[in-house]
Every structure is written in C-alpha cells, then in structure tokens.
C-alpha cells in the first residue's frame, strides 16, 4: 500500500517560506506585483486565476488582473503585454492559457519580458533550463521536483520515466530530472511498448491528459508515481491520468488528485514571483 504524497501540506510549507521572504523584500522597500492577463471567460481558467490571486494575497504579493474579452485581437493583447513589460510597478506577468484560437500562444509567450516571465515559458528561460543556467522554471515540473525532495525520494541514479512531452510539463520535467542526475526516458503517443518502459521506472511522472489511463499493470512494484493529470469526471469529482485505486497497491509513493501536483504549481508560481522581485 503506497504512502500518500500530500501536495497540499508541502505547498502550504512552501507558501509559508515565501511569505517570510516577501515580508523581508517589502521591508527592504522592494515591490512585488504579479499581473495576470485573462482573455475570455473560460470557467476553468477563471478558477485557476482566482486561486493564483488568493495565493498572492496570502503570501503578501500584490496582484492585478487584466480581463480582456474573448474577441480581443492578438495585437491588442501584445500591446497590453508591452505596457506591462515597461511598467516598473509590475515584476511578474502571467497570461492564463489556453488563449482563444485566433491568438497565437507562442507569439504571446515570446512577447513577455524574460525577466518577468514567472511561468517560465519564454524561449530564453527554456534555454536557460536546458543549459543549466539560473532562470524561471516552469511551475508544474518544478513543483514535482519539490514533491519528490520533500518526500525524501532520491532522484540521483534512479530510472525516471516521464509520460508526455508537452512544452509546459513533459519536456521541462525531463530536463529537471536530468539536472537532478536521474536517468530519464520520455514516452509519448508514438512510443512502442509503453507498458514495458513505464514498468522500468523507479520514478514515474504521468502528464498525458488521459483520465485514469495508467493502471497497476504499467507500474513497477515500489515505484514513486506522480500524477500531473487533472480531469473532471461526469459525477463532478476530479481524477488524474493515473488510476489511483489500482496503482496505490503497487506503488510505494503516490500523489492524489486533487491535492497532489495542483497545489504545488501555485506554490512554485509564488516562488517565481519572489525571484522576479529579487
Ligand atoms: P498535452 O495534451 O499538451 O500533452 C500530452 C502528452 O501526452 C503528449 O506529449 C502526448 O504525446 C502524450 N500522450 C497522449 N496520449 C498518450 C498515450 N496513449 N501514450 C503515451 N503518451 C501519450 O498535455 P499537458 O502536458 O499540457 O498536460 C497533461 C495533463 O496534465 C493534463 O491532464 C493537464 O490538465 C494536466 N496539467 C496539470 C497541471 C497541474 O497544475 N496539476 C498543470 C498543467 C497540466 P504526443 O506528444 O505524441 O501527442
């Protein structure tokens, strides 16, 4: 029976640390303000934005929300970002994704100043991660590393398998594990023998966007399983990419959904805001 990795508790500890750091920075006369841009009224995005604002309030970071209508033109959004880049009162900028289909996400991400890119998605920050330089780390994969470390799970020399290769989770996740000296394999939708590979993992990170796909048959006895996926089931409850009930019998450690990776993403965003202010 697996031990539960309590993301809520670990995220709360990180937020307490950040709160202290924010107090110190404010006492030194520094400013910390996060600007959040939301285009359209996607209900899930509204929940994420609200949660980020609440976390800011809790740790003492000022936040401003710029809400734009669904029909906002790409150049209008780019102009808003340009103004924010030049505004000394704003240290961090976050554009809530996904954006409406008529706006090119890549263009918007590139428009954010790399010094204010608290999501860590700008190519300059991605490049820094790749070559091991200091920069903003993407919040979700950075949160997964923290979860492993706080739970006393050693990464060095371990067989790590990442399911998924997206720019926001899978790819940066694999780079971070490599930085921690794990032996890393990335699998995706074209991988042959998925099960054979996932079964080798001491640390299995799942970010595939497929509800409850990973069952006990995909997991090695005694593995640590981190579930990044998040889905709302028909009955209204949340679930991940991992079939928790089946995998908990095989794994040694497992994250729940909700209460695993999700809260860590926001805690790491708060960390990045402090870094931006510094
Ligand atoms: P994407 O849809 O961008 O990427 C999914 C990845 O999984 C792709 O690389 C895809 O492969 C791979 N994949 C899909 N099906 C299979 C399969 N059958 N076998 C092997 N690989 C497969 O998703 P994201 O990375 O953005 O997100 C993943 C999940 O994490 C989602 O559920 C999302 O909601 C959640 N999420 C949660 C966050 C949190 O804070 N908890 C933050 C961000 C995301 P290919 O590249 O070949 O298509």
- The percentage of the chain sitting over the pLDDT mark of 70, rounded to a whole number, equals 100
- Catalytic residue flag (residue 119): yes
**Ligand 1 pocket mutation, candidates 8, 199, 208, criterion most atoms within 8 A of CB:** 208
Structure tokens at 5: 């990795």
Residue where the block lists tokens 């808003």: 80
Structure tokens at 76: 């209008």
Instruction: Report the pLDDT averaged over residues 144-166.
Output: 98
Q: What is the pLDDT of residues 171-216, one digit of tens each?
A: 999 999 999 999 999 999 999 999 999 999 999 999 999 999 999 9
Q: What is the pLDDT of residues 11-29, one digit of tens each?
A: 999 999 999 999 999 999 9
- Which pLDDT value is given to residue 162? 99
- Which pLDDT value is given to residue 207? 98
- Which pLDDT value is given to residue 134? 96
* Interval between CA 9 and ligand 1 midpoint (Å): 25
Q: What is the pLDDT of residues 224-238, one digit of tens each?
A: 999 999 999 999 999
Strand partners, 93: 35, 117
φ/ψ region of 190 (left if φ > 0, alpha if ψ in -120 to 50, else beta) reads: alpha
- Catalytic residue flag (residue 52): yes
Mean pLDDT, rounded, of the chain: 97
Ligand 1 atom with least separation from CA of 262:
41
Instruction: Kindly compute the dihedral angle of the four CA atoms of residues 180, 112, 109, 229, in this order, to the nearest 10 degrees.
Output: 50
Question: From the CB of 188, is ligand 1 less than 6 Å away?
Answer: yes
Ligand 1 atom with least separation from CA of 211:
32
- The percentage of the chain sitting over the pLDDT mark of 90, rounded to a whole number, equals 99
- Interhelix angle for 170-179 vs 139-150, to 10°? 40
- Which pLDDT value is given to residue 208? 98
- Which pLDDT value is given to residue 229? 97
- Which pLDDT value is given to residue 3? 98
Nearest to 42 by CA among 30, 34, 50: 50
Confidence of residue 116 (pLDDT cuts 50, 70, 90): very high
- What backbone torsions phi and psi does residue 42 show, to the nearest 5 degrees? -55, 120
- Which pLDDT value is given to residue 214? 98
Nearest to 35 by CA among 84, 73, 69: 84
Q: What is the pLDDT of residues 25-64, one digit of tens each?
A: 999 999 999 999 999 999 989 999 999 999 999 999 999 9
Q: What is the pLDDT of residues 66-99, one digit of tens each?
A: 999 999 999 999 999 999 999 999 999 999 999 9
C-alpha R_g of the chain: 19
Confidence of residue 273 (pLDDT cuts 50, 70, 90): very high
Instruction: Report the pLDDT averaged over residues 152-156.
Output: 98
- Catalytic residue flag (residue 227): no
Ligand 1 atom with least separation from CA of 165:
9
Question: From the CB of 163, is ligand 1 less than 6 Å away?
Answer: yes
Confidence of residue 256 (pLDDT cuts 50, 70, 90): very high
In angstroms, how far is CA 144 from the centroid of its own chain?
8
């Amino acid at each position: 029976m697996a031990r539960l990795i309590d993301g809520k508790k670990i995220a709360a500890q990180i937020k307490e640390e950040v709160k202290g750091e924010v107090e110190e920075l404010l006492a030194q006369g520094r400013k910390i303000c996060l600007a959040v841009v939301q285009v359209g009224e996607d209900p899930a995005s509204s929940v994420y934005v609200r949660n980020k604002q609440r976390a800011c309030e809790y740790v003492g970071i000022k936040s401003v929300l710029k809400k734009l209508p669904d029909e906002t033109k790409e150049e209008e959004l780019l102009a808003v970002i340009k103004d924010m880049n030049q505004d000394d009162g704003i240290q961090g900028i976050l554009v809530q994704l996904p954006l409406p289909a008529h706006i090119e996400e890549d263009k918007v991400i590139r428009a954010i100043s790399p010094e204010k890119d608290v999501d860590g998605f700008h190519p300059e920050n991605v490049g820094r991660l790749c070559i091991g330089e200091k920069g903003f780390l993407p919040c979700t994969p950075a949160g997964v590393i923290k979860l492993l470390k706080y739970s006393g799970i050693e990464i060095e020399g371990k067989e790590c398998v990442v399911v998924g290769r997206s720019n926001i989770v899978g790819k940066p996740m694999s780079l971070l594990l490599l930085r921690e000296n794990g032996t890393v394999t990335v699998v995706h939708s074209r991988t042959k023998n998925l099960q054979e590979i996932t079964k080798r993992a001491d640390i299995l990170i799942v970010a595939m966007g497929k509800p409850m796909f990973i069952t006990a048959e995909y997991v090695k006895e005694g593995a640590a399983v981190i579930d990044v996926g998040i889905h709302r089931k028909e009955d209204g409850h949340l679930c991940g990419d991992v079939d928790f009930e089946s995998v908990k019998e095989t794994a040694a450690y497992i994250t729940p959904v909700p209460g695993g990776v999700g809260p860590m993403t926001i805690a790491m965003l708060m960390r990045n805001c402090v870094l931006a202010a510094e």
